[in-house]
Chain A
Amino acid sequence: MKVLVAVKRVIDAYVKVRVKSDGSGVETQNVKMSMNPFCEIAVEEAVRLKEAGVATEIVAVSCGPQQSQETIRTALAMGADRGILVQSDEALEPLGIAKLLKAVVDKEQPELVLLGKQAVDNDFGQTGQMLSALLGWSQATYASKIEKADGELTVTREIDGGLETVKVKLPAIVTADLRLNEPRYASLPNIMKAKKKPIDALTPDELGVDVAPRLSVLKVAEPPARQAGVKVGSVAELVDKLKNEAKVI
């Protein structure tokens, strides 16, 4: 089974982002960038499927600026076989990305596309579901376990009330949640090997996809700051304050 994994380059999850003073966005200059953590989980799952003899080839795809190559290289170092960069310097939205990914799927004909459940920068959490809709495929979001049987997958999903298990027909879209696996660190030899793996470059024009945004960002602002309160000296003082000052118990 051929597997496609969509990977996104984002501001590292542990960086404290700063809103630009002109309100046009957040500071991205000289900020550490990494692969979106949920995409790492998706790549790891693809590699494990290959190690288990279920996946035959893994193609890592990213849409974005030239630097997204680095993100693809990370996927290659983790064990993906080759990469595709759909290069665009425009601000892409999930619908546009889903259309680009659909065009890549039409060319590559994978049986499974793995994505992260959300990207930690824009927190949309839409791309996988949109891609699934455009392809007319089945979808299993928020996956914490994936098992393949004949022509279908059994997927355990993390939902608000607990866990849910669904069967989805292949070809399918699966989006990764936190507990699907723990991504590996790429070893130095594998990082070296990844430099030789091929990355094809495409553009939205070549794929015939219109990615014009539908949303315009009028303003990006800082949320109201929360003031630190007081330290209490004892549990008795805490309970007293909660009862008589805050009046919440």
Chain B
Amino acid sequence: MSILVYAEHDNASLKPVTLNVVAAAKAIAEKAGGEIHVLVAGSGCGAAAEEAAKIEGVAKVLKADSAEYEAKLAENVAPLLVKLAEGYDYLLAPTTTGGRNVLPRAAALLDVQGISDISGVEDADTFVRPIYAGNALATVQSSDAKKLITVRGTAFDAVAAEGGSATVEEVGAEGDAGLSSFVGQELTKSERPELTSARVIVSGGRGMQSGENFAMLERIADKLGAAVGASRAAVDAGFVPNDYQVGQTGKVVAPELYIAVGISGAIQHLAGMKDSKVIVAINKDEEAPMFQVADYGLVADLFQAVPELEAELDKG
């Protein structure tokens, strides 16, 4: 019984969520036994593969280094997963736009019902996953011989990035499916930490009123070493880019501290952040549902409270 983890990376380095997926793999290995291998598929991805080889608990790294994996198009990556799946009982990927795009495609080709976004491992074939925006937790048992699973990163504590010494083995590429091609990317550039791995998040909602006003939150974020997030309403209004969205249909986060500013606390938003350790709500409406989950609530006008907060943090 062995487990293959599909690594998320940008060829040069691994995305931190890969460490959480390996943690889920360890939880499965405790029930089912077997080795944990990591697949790094990309183009010029040697550095990412080397990094994967150092992860604690990883026995082997498979490197598929070829031009057709450069953009990680699902049409090209899925056949590779299908070929490699012969040797594995489990295929795991993070519940990211990368993992969710490719894993179901591979699952269908293998005639397997994939299991999305697991937050717990009960047994070798039994997993817990949130449904209905996290308002219910389903325990599901799979009868498929192979299990293809996406993992909710925030539900599993990352394993150590160092300490392992896995061998790196090259695997052959499967060719270009010729169905799709990559045109370009507009990635949000930021010196701040990534939302899904940040220790502190400062998030703004419709109450912020404009994109310019988010500068107030950015200054707070920089003082706290935090990432900046947003509600769907703030993204829809064009205040901030789409990748800021926290929630059921955006990113799921669980930082040590989540500061929600001018966010009402709709169930779809709560679905993405209610597992944060400490939640702060700043809202002028004392009835806002966000206060029902907040550890510390401040009923105030944000245009007063946020500058005050900045000044208070400056005091050190």
Residues on A lying within 8 angstroms of B by beta carbon are 11, 13-14, 16-17, 19, 26, 38, 93-96, 98, 117-118, 120-127, 129-134, 137-142, 144, 154, 157-169, 177-179, 213-223, 226, 228-232, 234-236, 238-239, 241-242, 246, 248-249
Residues of B within 8 A of A38 (CB): 249
Report B186 CB to chain A, min CB distance, Å. 5
Q: Is B105 an interface residue (CB 8 A)?
A: yes
Q: Mark B268-309, 1 if CB is under 8 A from A, else 0.
A: 100000100111100000100001111111111000010011
Q: Is B134 an interface residue (CB 8 A)?
A: yes
Q: Is B78 an interface residue (CB 8 A)?
A: yes
Residues of A within 8 A of B98 (CB): 159-160
B135 touches A246 (CB 8 A): no
Which of chain A's residues has its CB closest to B308's CB? A235
Report A43 CB to chain B, min CB distance, Å. 17
Complex CA gap A232/B104 in Å reads: 46
Q: Is B4 an interface residue (CB 8 A)?
A: no
Residues of B within 8 A of A216 (CB): 140-141, 143
Report A145 CB to chain B, min CB distance, Å. 11
Residues of A within 8 A of B188 (CB): 161-162
Report A126 CB to chain B, min CB distance, Å. 4
B232 touches A235 (CB 8 A): no
Beyond A98-B108, A221-B139, 15 extra complex contacts between A and B, CB < 8 Å: A26-B136, A94-B114, A118-B249, A120-B248, A125-B116, A126-B100, A130-B104, A130-B107, A141-B74, A163-B187, A166-B180, A167-B180, A169-B179, A177-B242, A238-B296
Segment with Cβ contacts to A, from B58-66, B125-133, B204-212: B125-133
Complex CA gap A105/B292 in Å reads: 47
Residues of B within 8 A of A222 (CB): 135-137
Residues of A within 8 A of B293 (CB): 226, 228
Q: Is B13 an interface residue (CB 8 A)?
A: no
Residues of A within 8 A of B299 (CB): 231
Report A80 CB to chain B, min CB distance, Å. 23
Report B95 CB to chain A, min CB distance, Å. 8
Residues of B within 8 A of A121 (CB): 131-132
Residues of A within 8 A of B165 (CB): none
Report B122 CB to chain A, min CB distance, Å. 8
Residues of B within 8 A of A94 (CB): 104, 113-114
Q: Is B112 an interface residue (CB 8 A)?
A: yes
Residues of A within 8 A of B300 (CB): 235
Report B142 CB to chain A, min CB distance, Å. 6
Residues of B within 8 A of A98 (CB): 108
Q: Is B243 an interface residue (CB 8 A)?
A: yes
Interface SS, B side: mixed
Complex CA gap A126/B294 in Å reads: 33
Residues of A within 8 A of B107 (CB): 95, 126, 130, 133
* B298 contact from A19, A142, A231, Cβ within 8 A: A231
A17 touches B132 (CB 8 A): yes
Residues of B within 8 A of A157 (CB): 97
Report A123 CB to chain B, min CB distance, Å. 6
* A219 contact from B138, B224, B236, Cβ within 8 A: B138
> Top 7 A-B pairs ranked by shortest CB distance?
A229-B295, A130-B108, A214-B113, A126-B104, A133-B108, A129-B104, A138-B179
Report B290 CB to chain A, min CB distance, Å. 10
Residues of B within 8 A of A167 (CB): 180-181, 183
For chain B residues 85-114, which have a beta carbon within 8 Å of chain A? 96-98, 100-109, 111-114
A95 touches B108 (CB 8 A): yes
Residues of A within 8 A of B143 (CB): 214-216
B136 touches A229 (CB 8 A): no
Most buried by A among B134, B137, B138, B141: B138
Q: Is B29 an interface residue (CB 8 A)?
A: no
Q: Is B73 an interface residue (CB 8 A)?
A: yes
Report A36 CB to chain B, min CB distance, Å. 11
B108 touches A217 (CB 8 A): no
Which of chain B's residues has its CB closest to A23's CB? B139
Complex CA gap A134/B106 in Å reads: 10
Residues of A within 8 A of B131 (CB): 26, 121-123, 220
Residues of A within 8 A of B305 (CB): 235
Complex CA gap A219/B140 in Å reads: 7
Report B43 CB to chain A, min CB distance, Å. 16
Residues of B within 8 A of A126 (CB): 100, 104, 107, 114, 116
A215-B139 CB under 8 A given contacts A162-B187, A239-B309: no
A161-B185 CB under 8 A given contacts A93-B113, A228-B294, A231-B298: yes
Report A53 CB to chain B, min CB distance, Å. 24
B116 touches A123 (CB 8 A): yes
Residues of A within 8 A of B179 (CB): 137-138, 168-169
